[in-house]
Amino acid sequence: MDVPTRMKAWTCRRYGGPEVLTLEDVPVPAIGPDELLVRVLATTVSSADSRVRALRLPPGFGPVGRLMLGFRGPRRPILGTEVSGLVLAAGRKVSLFGVGDPVIAFLDTKMGGHAELAAIRETGLIVGKPANLSFEAAASLCFGGLTARDYMRKAGLAPGERLLVIGAAGAVGSAFVQLASQMGAHVTAVTSAGHVEQVRALGADLVIDHARENFIAGGRSWDVIADTVAASSFGRCLPALRRGGRYLSIAGGLADMLIGKRGDKRCISGPARSRLEDMRELGRSAQSGAYTPLIDSIHGFKDMREAHRRVDAGRKRGSVVVRVADA
Ligand SMILES: NC(=O)c1ccc[n+]([C@@H]2O[C@H](COP(=O)([O-])OP(=O)(O)OC[C@H]3O[C@@H](n4cnc5c(N)ncnc54)[C@H](OP(=O)(O)O)[C@@H]3O)[C@@H](O)[C@H]2O)c1
């Protein structure tokens, strides 16, 4: 297939609600000798896309937000952190992938996935798509999965330890519940009544409905508390952490980042590191059926604004997927 010079992409040129998104005709990204051009078949609207579009940052990051992301609107106007699709073209030095290969690419903070085509270095965060995964599921593999794996590693979560996951139905939370229960941790999940059965099916041993029960006040304690939705804080969770406990402030603000330690209890925060080896492992687990990325809903490419509205509501289960094209 000839490589087109123009493509359709959703752009965000000023911060605001989903209405600021525009479907534009833009140049196809030029690829270097070690890069691939991927024809995007599916992508997701992640909580990161929604945050960047709205300039909605965790508490304490407001003043540096525009400096980091762009003054009036995102410096990188095409959002989208993860895609699945087919390799359309490969630079002359590319040896790991060939034209036509089905792939999953994690574009991370560079974004650019809400478009018909996306460029990525062949040594970047890109893996072959497991044959048994749909392109929609493949596009949902990384955002939650990579974050959960990195935070599990930072926490040193061990088999037999007791883990509390707050926000267990979300993209990060649902990955945490699945991966931690598979490695032999005892998982308590915090979610709302409508998501209890889903979260149990992912492997949670106990489920707490956050509308009915205050998990901190119940007298129970955990080795690791992973808060994926900033519904708690390190300080408030101290009584619920066991000796040597770790509090994971995955969506928390600057305050949690600055605390670090209280006695023998640690607060771990900051951006998750996305690793190729973790992507490969998630792919292998998905291929064997051990790991299934949770999909909230699937939207058409023209319905990108609707997909953002679903994410903005803060109630999604797993990933909101956008189908960009048919295979
Ligand atoms: N540190 C990092 O590198 C990193 C990486 C990725 C994401 N993040 C951040 O992590 C956060 C979560 O991302 P995500 O994509 O997983 O979010 P998400 O999918 O949008 O989370 C939605 C889920 O949150 C749950 N929820 C909302 N309020 C809750 C509460 N009070 N208690 C328990 N659950 C609650 C909802 O479940 P119910 O309707 O059942 O309440 C819903 O299922 C975002 O803020 C994102 O920016 C950070």
User: For 165-220, how does the pLDDT look when each residue is reduced to its tens digit (9 = 90+)?
Assistant: 999 999 999 999 999 999 999 999 999 999 999 999 999 999 999 988 888 877 89
- What's the 205 CA to ligand 1 centre distance in angstroms? 20
Q: Which residues line ligand 1 (CB under 6 A)?
A: 46-48, 51, 144, 147, 166-167, 169-173, 190-192, 195, 210, 228-229, 231, 250-251, 271-272, 311, 314-317
User: For 130-140, how does the pLDDT look when each residue is reduced to its tens digit (9 = 90+)?
Assistant: 999 999 999 99
Superfamily of domain 143-269: NAD(P)-binding Rossmann-like Domain (3.40.50.720)
Over its C-alpha atoms, the chain yields an Rg (Å, rounded) of 20
Can you tell me which atom of ligand 1 is nearest the CA of 270? Answer: 1
- What's the 153 CA to ligand 1 centre distance in angstroms? 19
DSSP labels, 20-35: GEEEEEEEPPP--TTE
DSSP labels, 125-143: SEEEPPTTS-HHHHHTSSH
H/E stretch holding 117 reads strand 117-121
Can you tell me which atom of ligand 1 is nearest the CA of 191? Answer: 40
Q: What are the start and end residues of each CATH 3.40.50.720 domain in the chain?
A: 143-269
Q: Which residues pair with 262 in a beta bridge?
A: 265
Phi-psi region of 21 (alpha: psi -120 to 50; beta: other; left: phi over 0): beta
pTM score: 0.97
Can you tell me which atom of ligand 1 is nearest the CA of 194? Answer: 40
Closest residue to atom 9 of ligand 1, CA basis:
251
Superfamily of domain 6-141+293-323: Medium-chain alcohol dehydrogenases, catalytic domain (3.90.180.10)
Percent of the chain at pLDDT > 90 equals 91
The reported pLDDT for the residue numbered 1 is 65
Q: What are the start and end residues of each CATH 3.90.180.10 domain in the chain?
A: 6-141+293-323
Name the residue of 172, 188, 278, 308 whose CB sits within 8 Å of the most ligand 1 atoms, as the mutation to test its pocket.
172
User: For 18-38, how does the pLDDT look when each residue is reduced to its tens digit (9 = 90+)?
Assistant: 999 999 999 999 999 999 999
| Banded model confidence at residue 102, pLDDT cuts 50, 70, 90 | very high
